[in-house]
Chain A
Amino acid sequence: MAAPMVLAEAVHKRYGHLEVLKGISLEVDARQVMCLLGPSGSGKSTFLRCINHLEQINSGRLWVDGTLVGYAERGGRLHELPEREVCRRRTEIGMVFQRFNLFPHLTVLENVVMAPVVVKGEARGVVTERARRLLDRVGLSAKVAAYPNQLSGGQQQRVAIARALAMEPKLMLFDEPTSALDPELVGEVLDVMRALAEDGMTMVVVTHEIGFAREVGDTLVFMDAGVVVEAGPPRDVIANPQHERTRTFLSKVL
């Protein structure tokens, strides 16, 4: 059995005296989709950001595809890696943000093309070809020359997904990808994510979309106050939650 794509062991994270992650242990196998659910402040987004080292962890271990994220272990202690190494590992992990964070000074096509050219040193022609294919896949081939502010939120988020995919990552992280969208635009983004999951992408998705978690997720993890309250197949967790906190939360969002 190959190593899981994401493996977390007792991950702790503190901001000053505030402990936001109190020992998170989970694993996501390759080609699986894990959805993280929980009230705001439960630490789910923070945990997601630890996976690509946008946040440092205080203790525990976090591996992506068998490699420690952001650290090297020497003599049982974690030593933070130099920037170059951190960045090299991030190239294998795509991330999509709640507020899209497209680069507003670049066109849609340039948004998608830039990182592979700048970071990986790939030939612009090759990347442009791939970018057009990806934009076609997210249904935006007509918008390549537009600037992000000329697009709807749903379109922007689909460009953001294409931008992350252009780096050809092994793993995709989604941080509440539909929370900033108008209700009628949520569907188009979820459709793209569903198609991505069907193609076998490993995904960790922080979301409030219970329907998406049920249909697309292989695992559903419910977090509250920095701990994993329960985890399991989405249908079981949603239909038959074992913990009172899960029940209370689900009764509010369903």
Chain B
Amino acid sequence: MPVRHPGRWVATAAVLVLVAMLVHSLLTNANFGWSVVGHYFFAAPVVRGLVLTLELTAAAMLIGVVLGVCLAILRLSPNPILSSSAWCYIWFFRGTPVFVQILFWYNIAALFPHVGLGAPFGPQVVRGDANTLVTSIVAAILALGLNEAAYYAEIVRAGILSVDHGQVEAAQSLGMRRIQLMRKVVLPQAMRVIVPPTGNETISMLKTTSLASVAAVTELLYSAQQIYARTYQTIPLLIMASIWYLILTTVLTIGQYYVERHYARGTSYELPPTPLQRMTGALAHRTARRRVAAVGGAAPGPLRGPG
């Protein structure tokens, strides 16, 4: 007889009761306003806000990744001026709240009414009137992207440092220059370390874009806020926004899984099957077992997904 686990039974029962209470509340508490959630779920302003949220996320991550990789390479540069300026950038942008940075960029015109070549705190080259150049969306993208670059630089740096120095020497002995061996040898291997936190950062960014609502950027949250400011259905609209955020982060999580698999090439003998492969494998197994059962043979051995 296997060992009995009475504790587990108690815990299971407790969890089931709590879940039942939650489901009961979700179904019976009218304040959730599920019909309101459903009503606005695909409303035009909400969908527009959703698209803007995705655009903000993509633009800010693009700036963050590109600038972050550059910063990481600068930080590891043998030139002390380059490495310390990268250090200072990271120190500054990690040291101030991103919320403040959004407000700051939104109000940049108060500091520099006219922006010329080579603005401080940022590498962008612009000229003209700050108020027309830095719209609320631009302010949000700049703040989120530049802030992300600081964090991403540290992720990339950790990835680069995780690659065995022998790899660099082998590439050097083949006559590769620093920039070539970074692109062809070091960064592809660093990706294995870089990708999981990148997924994390993207998911985090998707939600952080909601901070842009303070700059009156009509992304998902602000769209919901505009509706409930009119209808006073605060909770249902916040629930609606949350469900959208959950859906988007779930999609990103699935994407991350496959990207990680891609960069795991050459690191393990055989990759485990994906959930999809496991499911088709299980179905195939089940039909096989039914067929075997029909002819009265023994059931096949333990389930194994295709390799």
Contact = CB atoms under 8 A, between A and B. Distances in A.
Interface string A52-89: 10100000000000000000000000000001100110
Nearest to B263: A105
A88 B269 contact: no
A238 interface: no
Contacts, number: 76
A114 B177 CA distance: 13
Contacts of B184: 114, 118
B166 A101 contact: yes
B35 interface: no
Given A106-B266, A118-B184, A149-B266, A101 B170 contact: yes
A106 B170 CA distance: 14
Interface residues of B, number: 24
Contacts of B176: 87, 115, 118-119
B173 to A, nearest CB: 4
B265 interface: yes
Nearest to B167: A101
B188 interface: yes
Nearest to B179: A83
Nearest to A103: B185
A83 B178 contact: yes
A84 B171 CA distance: 14
A118 B266 contact: no
B172 A54 contact: yes
B185 A167 contact: no
Contacts of B170: 95, 97, 101-103, 160
B307 interface: no
B185 A164 contact: no
Contact of B189 (A88, A99, A104, A173): A104
B265 A147 contact: yes
A52 B173 CA distance: 7
A119 B189 contact: no
A54 B268 CA distance: 31
Contacts of A84: 177
B175 A90 contact: yes
Interface residues of A, number: 33
Nearest to A163: B174
Contacts of B266: 104-106, 147-149
A94 B175 CA distance: 9
Interface string A88-129: 101101110101011111100000001100111000000000
Nearest to A94: B173
Interface string B163-203: 01011011111111110100011001100000000000000
B174 A115 contact: yes
Nearest to A148: B266
Given A94-B173, A149-B266, 11 more contacts: A52-B173, A87-B172, A91-B174, A95-B173, A99-B166, A101-B167, A103-B171, A119-B180, A163-B174, A164-B173, A167-B174
Shortest 9 CB-CB contacts between residues of A and residues of B: A91-B175, A101-B170, A95-B173, A115-B174, A147-B266, A101-B166, A90-B175, A104-B266, A119-B175
Interface of B: 164, 166-167, 169-178, 180, 184-185, 188-189, 263, 265-269
27 contacts: A83-B177, A83-B178, A84-B177, A88-B175, A90-B172, A90-B173, A91-B174, A97-B166, A97-B170, A103-B170, A103-B171, A103-B189, A114-B184, A115-B174, A118-B180, A119-B174, A119-B176, A147-B266, A149-B266, A149-B268, A149-B269, A163-B174, A164-B173, A164-B174, A167-B174, A167-B175, A173-B173
Interface of A: 52, 54, 83-84, 87-88, 90-91, 93-95, 97, 99, 101-106, 114-115, 118-120, 147-150, 160, 163-164, 167, 173
